[in-house]
């Protein structure tokens, strides 16, 4: 259907011609509790045309169009409805009224109007998800962000249901809900959520402002809904954002709806944010999970200004939405009074920037301000560049122009463009006015070029350990093959931190790595290939010299040889969490870049992780070590390294404080790689109660983690999995059971899983994702080997026949990433040459191929380490 892929040129032409005034959308969803299928959608659009007699089109993805009436004239649907577009022939007037009657379809893919039946109460729950181009699955729309309009929804729903939209919820009459019109907003942030949802309500009040707040979830999750904690974070965001943005919250209420089978973390629908309901925690989780949830809540709230109040004109400026919301979430957690997570920049360095560094080295790397030619481009562009690199660069921009000047520019930007659309130049212009800086050069270097820089210290000392020369060398590694543009040396605002080990106190065997408050930090601008730092000459060399201390800039950082050696022994001794996170991240990046052997990375982690207090960092290290051993280690050494790691996880599990977050994290890490008969016996005995570990609650989610591993190694089969599902007959239990079944190490289990995902399109999105997650097991390489050829035989048809979300799950999730070999590279290259995939599919396959290349280099580096 070529009409689904709107081009930027088409959008510009349509925006030049049309000005949209309003939508009136009437949906008959009274049959939603039944079997699904289709529902009646009636859309009335009022819009102006700059040219009388011009022609245009409106977007609609629907099984059937029944009526099309333009300015009172009936148009034949069979003639005007093609390729998911309704042609508006050359009879447009200055003022136009278009009415479209269609039968639209419920989905189980998380796109358009998603319908889910809760196995607990057998009730249907619905919600919309429209970003990027899926409002057209529910009503006829001019589907592009710069054709804003008001939206009035009228919904007929089953008796007893609740209906929530962008506007305040009205009282229904005869099960019909008539909402008041919204302000002028883009199609993709309109929303409807309906069903017998459970709700909790409150209000945000300050200085005469009163904003109703609502939290919703399914009744089967109500007992787990910690609404007080969610409201607390929400109020924190209202306080901080309204002060910093100097613009009152722009909508009439703020609802947060935890919905099932959501593809993303959350969606910033104006006044009606949808959030994946895995954030309603059914079992004990670590504080890191609460921090991530709080970041998501604040991210979506920031979008009410960045994205909803002021919206990018076209998707090449998506970063104006996502980078700013990502920066704002972390800044709010770091700086808001009484924040529970003032260390959020540690989390940002540990997770967001790691994501960005990985994405920026893929063949699909692109400038933050990306070139988006059509909707296919943007659908695969919600990535680590748009979110994490953009936010990292904004953090540096704040340091560059000053925090007060930055937010003054943001305030002017909101006031100037409220309920409008903007480009990069609009924001930079406002920031130039308030900061007095010319940001055009900065923008070209940071926003309009791709790639990453590496900063390395160059140090000379005399016999007494006094620094005689110090410089920072900046490198710009070549961009991956096929990437547009050239590598770029950029200006960086960084700090250099000097750390020494204090004398041990009475409670510890070693001291703490500390930075002197007065003389232990130098902040400077780095530009060009080599930047001298004369301030350090004549000073005694400290134990550790850390570039980009405080994480001000976006750059990969390397430690000098002496600092690396000291950190390997003392990484856990940093008193502050942020320098620890920066060193952990540098070590992980060196491992991925084949500069540090996997076995040496494992040694470094084992030497320091026991002293790491930040539970989010600990859990990241668990994931990274597992990945490194399974993909980056010399295959001949893999088993020995896994044994070393699993033995360590069990030791830490047994020694962790009873009931602590660390104990839970180590239990999950142990379960992920348990393999010996004794280790697997322990998992079984913890499940059935024959053994216990003081303080460890083997609750619902932890039980499934154990069951998953026991299924993957062949200890558990259908009977045990079905028995566990009987204990947890919920939507989450259904997903876990599906994952465990597909994880079993048998040809029959793999064949069944493959058929359910690739050869059938009946699975809902969340179950499909669970099946794929269980199917790919790194310890089952031989069993999975035949599926490499099957993958390349099927992937093009899957991409062409499935919706974007469902196809992307399969394309990325089933790529033979565990088959790390030159043979996999060859087969990938042959497919890329012969299949002629479109740009979006080519990008996804090329990114996966890059993972194989990286793993091969890392394996070679690890193998070479055996000769040292």
Could you tell me if 69 and 98 are in contact, meaning their C-beta atoms sit under 8 angstroms apart?
Answer: yes
Residues 6+ apart with CB under 8 A from 171: none
Instruction: Supply the Cα-derived Rg of the chain in whole angstroms.
Output: 28
- Cα dist. 805→109, 128, 133, 262, 798 in Å? 7, 14, 12, 11, 11
Nearest to 815 by CA among 774, 849, 856, 778: 849
**Cα 415 versus chain centre, distance:** 29
C-alpha to C-alpha distance for 518 and 15, rounded to whole angstroms: 56
Determine the straight-line distance between the first and last CA of the chain, rounded to whole angstroms: 58
Would you call 347 helix, strand, or coil by DSSP?
A: helix
Backbone angles phi, psi at 424, to 5 degrees: -50, -45
C-alpha to C-alpha distance for 533 and 526, rounded to whole angstroms: 9
Helix (H) or strand (E) holding 703: helix 700-712
**Cα 387 versus chain centre, distance:** 8
Would you call 444 helix, strand, or coil by DSSP?
A: helix
Could you give the dihedral angle defined by the CA atoms of residues 632, 633, 639 and 643, in that order, rounded to the nearest 10 degrees?
-90
Q: Which of 111, 291, 300, 432 is catalytic?
A: 300
Which residue(s) pair with 47 in the sheet?
20, 96
C-alpha to C-alpha distance for 641 and 599, rounded to whole angstroms: 7
Would you call 200 helix, strand, or coil by DSSP?
A: strand
C-alpha to C-alpha distance for 795 and 805, rounded to whole angstroms: 14
Which residue(s) pair with 96 in the sheet?
47
Q: 137: which 2 tokens?
A: 């699955």
Backbone angles phi, psi at 676, to 5 degrees: -75, 160
Pairing verdict, β 530-532 and 467-475: antiparallel
Could you tell me if 172 and 198 are in contact, meaning their C-beta atoms sit under 8 angstroms apart?
Answer: no
Backbone angles phi, psi at 33, to 5 degrees: -75, -15
- Cα dist. 228→202, 214, 261 in Å? 10, 11, 24
Q: In the annotation, is 24 catalytic?
A: no
Nearest to 609 by CA among 662, 560, 566: 662
Would you call 287 helix, strand, or coil by DSSP?
A: helix
Q: 546: which 2 tokens?
A: 């850390």
Which of left, alpha, beta for 416 (phi over 0: left; psi -120 to 50: alpha)? Answer: alpha
Which residue(s) pair with 578 in the sheet?
none
Would you call 515 helix, strand, or coil by DSSP?
A: strand
Measured at the alpha carbon of residue 265, what is the angle toward residues 263 and 271, in degrees to the nearest 5? 105
Which residue(s) pair with 81 in the sheet?
86
C-alpha to C-alpha distance for 9 and 811, rounded to whole angstroms: 28
Instruction: Classify the C-alpha dihedral 616-618-621-623 as positive or negative.
Output: negative
- The per-residue b/e assignment along 44-64, b for 16 or more CB within 10 angstroms, e otherwise, is bbebebeeeeeebbbbbbbee
Percent helix, percent strand, percent coil in the chain, to nearest 5: 45, 20, 35
Would you call 102 helix, strand, or coil by DSSP?
A: strand
C-alpha to C-alpha distance for 629 and 859, rounded to whole angstroms: 9
Helix, strand counts (H, E) of the chain: 29, 29
Give the residue numbers marked as catalytic.
300
């Amino acid at each position: 259907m070529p009409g689904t892929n709107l081009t930027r040129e088409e959008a510009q032409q349509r925006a030049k011609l049309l000005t949209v005034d309003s939508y009136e959308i009437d949906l008959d969803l009274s049959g939603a509790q039944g079997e699904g299928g289709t529902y009646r959608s009636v859309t009335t659009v009022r819009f102006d045309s700059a040219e009388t007699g011009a022609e245009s089109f409106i977007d609609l993805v629907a099984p059937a169009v029944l009526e099309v009436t333009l300015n009172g004239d009936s148009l034949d649907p069979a003639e005007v409805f093609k390729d998911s577009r309704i042609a508006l022939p050359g009879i447009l007037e200055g003022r136009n009224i278009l009415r479209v009657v269609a039968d639209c379809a419920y989905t189980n893919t998380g796109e358009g109007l998603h319908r889910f039946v809760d196995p607990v109460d057998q009730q249907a729950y619905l919600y919309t998800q429209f970003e990027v181009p899926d409002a057209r699955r529910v009503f006829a729309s001019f589907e592009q962000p710069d054709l804003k309009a008001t939206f009035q929804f009228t919904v007929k729903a089953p008796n007893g249901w609740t209906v929530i939209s962008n506007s305040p919820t009205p009282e229904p009459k005869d099960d019909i809900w008539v909402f008041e019109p919204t302000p002028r907003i883009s199609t993709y942030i309109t929303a409807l959520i309906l069903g017998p949802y459970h709700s909790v309500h409150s209000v945000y009040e300050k200085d005469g402002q009163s904003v109703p707040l609502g939290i919703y979830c399914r009744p089967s999750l109500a007992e787990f809904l910690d609404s007080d904690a969610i409201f607390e974070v929400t109020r924190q965001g209202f306080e901080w954002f309204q002060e910093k943005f100097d613009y009152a919250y722009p909508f009439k209420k703020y609802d947060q709806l935890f919905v099932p089978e959501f593809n993303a973390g959350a969606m910033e629908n104006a006044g009606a944010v949808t959030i994946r309901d895995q954030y309603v925690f059914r079992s004990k989780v670590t504080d890191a999970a609460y921090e991530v949830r709080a970041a998501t809540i604040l991210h979506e709230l920031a979008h009410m200004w960045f994205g909803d109040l002021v919206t990018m004109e076209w998707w090449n400026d998506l970063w104006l939405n996502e980078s700013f919301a990502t920066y704002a979430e972390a800044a709010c957690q770091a700086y808001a009074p009484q924040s529970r997570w003032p260390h959020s920049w540690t989390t940002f360095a540990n997770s967001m920037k790691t994501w960005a560094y990985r994405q920026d080295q893929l063949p699909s790397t692109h400038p933050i301000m990306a070139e988006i030619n059509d909707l296919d481009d943007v659908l695969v562009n919600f990535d680590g560049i748009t979110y994490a690199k953009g936010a990292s660069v904004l953090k540096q921009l704040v340091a560059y122009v000053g925090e007060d000047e930055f937010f003054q520019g943001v305030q002017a930007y909101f006031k100037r463009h409220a309920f409008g659309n903007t480009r990069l130049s609009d924001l930079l212009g406002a920031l130039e006015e308030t900061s007095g800086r010319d940001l055009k050069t900065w923008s070209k270097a940071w926003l309009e070029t791709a790639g990453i820089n590496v900063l390395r210290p160059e140090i000379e000392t005399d016999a007494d350990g006094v620094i005689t020369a110090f410089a920072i060398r900046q490198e710009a590694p070549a961009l991956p093959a096929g990437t547009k543009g050239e590598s770029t040396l950029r200006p960086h605002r960084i700090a250099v931190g000097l750390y020494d080990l204090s004398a041990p106190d009475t409670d510890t065997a070693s001291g703490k790595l500390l930075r002197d408050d007065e003389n232990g930090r130098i902040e400077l601008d780095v530009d060009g290939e080599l930047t001298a730092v004369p301030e350090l000459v004549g000073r005694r060399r400290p134990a550790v010299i850390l570039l980009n201390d405080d994480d001000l800039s976006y750059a990969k950082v390397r430690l000098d040889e002496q600092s690396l050696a000291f950190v390997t022994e003392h990484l856990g001794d940093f008193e502050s969490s942020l320098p620890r996170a920066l060193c952990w991240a540098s070590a992980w990046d060196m491992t991925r870049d084949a500069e540090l052997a996997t076995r040496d990375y494992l040694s470094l982690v084992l030497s320091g992780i026991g002293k790491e207090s930040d539970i989010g960092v600990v859990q990241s290290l668990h994931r990274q070590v597992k990945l490194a051993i399974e993909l980056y280690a010399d295959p001949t050494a893999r088993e020995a390294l896994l044994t070393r790691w699993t033995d360590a996880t069990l030791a830490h599990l047994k020694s962790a404080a009873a009931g602590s977050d660390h104990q839970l994290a180590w239990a999950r890490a142990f379960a992920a790689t348990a393999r010996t008969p004794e280790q697997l016996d322990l998992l079984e005995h913890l499940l059935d109660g024959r053994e216990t570990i003081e303080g460890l609650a083997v609750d619902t989610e932890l039980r499934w983690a154990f069951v998953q591993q026991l299924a993957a190694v062949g200890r558990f089969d259908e009977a045990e999995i079905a028995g566990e599902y009987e204990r947890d007959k919920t939507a989450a239990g259904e997903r876990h059971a599906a994952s465990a079944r597909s994880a079993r190490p048998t040809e029959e289990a793999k064949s069944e899983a493959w058929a359910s995902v690739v050869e059938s399109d009946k699975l809902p999105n969340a179950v499909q994702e669970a099946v794929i997650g269980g199917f790919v097991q790194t310890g089952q390489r031989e069993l999975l080997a035949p599926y490499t050829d099957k993958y390349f035989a099927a992937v093009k048809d899957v991409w062409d026949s499935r919706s974007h979300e469902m196809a992307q799950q399969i394309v990325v999730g089933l790529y033979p990433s565990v088959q790390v070999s030159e043979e996999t590279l060859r087969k990938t290259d042959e497919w890329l040459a012969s299949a002629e995939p479109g740009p979006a599919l080519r990008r996804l396959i090329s990114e996966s191929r890059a993972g194989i290349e990286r793993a091969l280099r890392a394996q070679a580096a690890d193998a070479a380490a055996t000769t040292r």
